[in-house]
Amino acid sequence: MTHLWLRAEQRDNETRTGLTPEGAAALIALGMKVSVEDSDSRVIPTAAYAQAGCEIVPAHSWPDAPRDAVIFGLKELPEDGTPLPHTHIMFGHAYKGQSSGRKLLEQFKAGGGTLLDLEYLTDDAGRRVAAFGYWAGFAGAAISVKCRIAQLRGKTCGPVQPYPDAEALKAALAEELAQVDASGDRALVIGALGRVGRGASDLCAALRIPVTCWDMAETTHGGPFPEILDHAYFFNCILAGPDTPAFVHPDAPKAERALRVIGDIACDPDSAFNPVQVYDRATTWAVPALRVHDTPPLDVMAIDNLPSMLPRESSEDFASQLLPTLRALPETDNAVWQRARKLFDQHVAEV
C-alpha cells in the first residue's frame, strides 16, 4: 500500500498545502494511506482532513514515519544536516547550483532517501504538471506595487501579510495607489506567456498599469535589453537556465533609468544562472524590499514563497493540478515519477 505523509510546513509565513481534503479522499478511495500532520498554520484546518478519512499525526513527526512512507511538503526542510532516509516530494531548489541545495543533496545521500522535486515533475512534452506560477506572479507584482507606493511616499516597503483573497488584495492596492502619483509608471514582463507572467500581467491590468509583454521572441538575441530601464517595473517571470541571458546587469542601478522596482518573481539569487545581477539574497515578508540604489531609488522584491500571500486560492489551484500525478504514485512505471527519480539520481551522484 502506498503511504503518503503530508507534513506540516516549518517555515514562517508558509500556510499553503499541496493536498486538499478532497484530494486526500480521492487517494484513499484508490487504496492509498494518507497521514496528515496536525498544523495550526495550514490554510485548511486539520479537522477537514480527519473528516476525509486521513490519519492525523503530530506536527513535525515525519522523521519517525515508516520508512516506506512518502513525505510530501512544499518548502524547505530544517537545515540541520540530518540524513534523510525517506522519499520526499517537495521543492528542493537543489539542481541549479544553489549552495543550500548541495547541502540538501548531501542529506539525501547520507540517508539513502530520494528527492522527487515538484519543480521537475513534467509531462512528456516537458511541461510542469503543477505549478504555483500564476499566483506567484500575481502576488509578486502586488508586493512590487507596494514597494513602488512606499518609494513615492519617501519610504521603503514595510512588512506584508496574507490577504483573504485576490479581490481584497486588488481593492487594497487600488486604494493605496489612489493616494500617490504613479500615473507615468509602466511595467515590463519577461515570460509573459507563462503562468507566472500571466499572473503578473493580470495584476497590473487590474490596477491599470500599462504592461509591455515579452517572451522568448523578444529575448532570443541575448541582450542587452535597454527597454527594461525604460519601465518603472521589471518582472522576471522565467525559470532561468544556462542559456538564459542577463536581463539586468550590475551597472544598472547607476544608469539613467525609469526603473524603480524589480520584481524577481523567479527568485534564484544564489543560482549561477541568475539573470538579475544586482542582488544576492532573497527578500522576506518582514523586509520585502532590498534597496540596491538610493537616488533615484531602486528596490528588488524577491520573496520566494509569494503564493502564500493568497494561500487558499493558490493551494486549491496547485492541488488540483497535482492530484492526477499523486494518483499515479503507486505506478512504478509512471513516466512523470520516473523522470523525477532519474534527475535526482543524476544530481546526487555529483555530490
pLDDT tens track, the chain, 351 positions: 999 999 999 988 899 999 999 999 999 999 999 999 999 999 999 999 999 999 999 999 999 999 999 999 999 888 888 999 999 999 998 888 777 888 999 999 999 999 999 999 999 999 999 999 999 999 999 999 999 999 999 999 999 999 999 999 999 999 999 999 999 999 999 999 999 999 999 999 999 999 999 999 999 999 999 999 999 999 999 988 889 999 999 999 999 999 999 999 999 898 888 999 999 999 999 999 999 999 999 999 999 889 999 999 999 999 999 999 999 999 989 999 999 999 999 999 998
Q: What is the pLDDT of residue 240?
A: 87
Q: What is the pLDDT of residue 81?
A: 87
Q: What is the pLDDT of residue 49?
A: 98
Q: For residue 47, give Cα distances in angstroms to 51, 56, 58, 175, 188.
A: 6, 9, 13, 37, 44
Q: Which three cell numbers stand for residue 164?
A: 483573504
Q: What is the pLDDT of residue 78?
A: 83
Question: Is the CB of residue 331 less than 8 Å from the CB of residue 341?
Answer: no
Q: What is the pLDDT of residue 288?
A: 98
List active site positions. 75, 93
Q: What is the pLDDT of residue 272?
A: 84
Q: What is the pLDDT of residue 139?
A: 98
Beta partners for 213? Answer: 189
Q: What is the pLDDT of residue 99?
A: 73
CA-nearest of 20, 22, 74 to 308 is: 74
Contacts of 284 (CB under 8 A, 6+ apart): 303
Q: For residue 218, give Cα distances in angstroms to 35, 162, 192, 257.
A: 47, 34, 11, 20
What are the backbone angles phi and psi of residue 110, rounded to the nearest 5°?
Answer: -65, -35
Question: Is the CB of residue 77 less than 8 Å from the CB of residue 63?
Answer: no
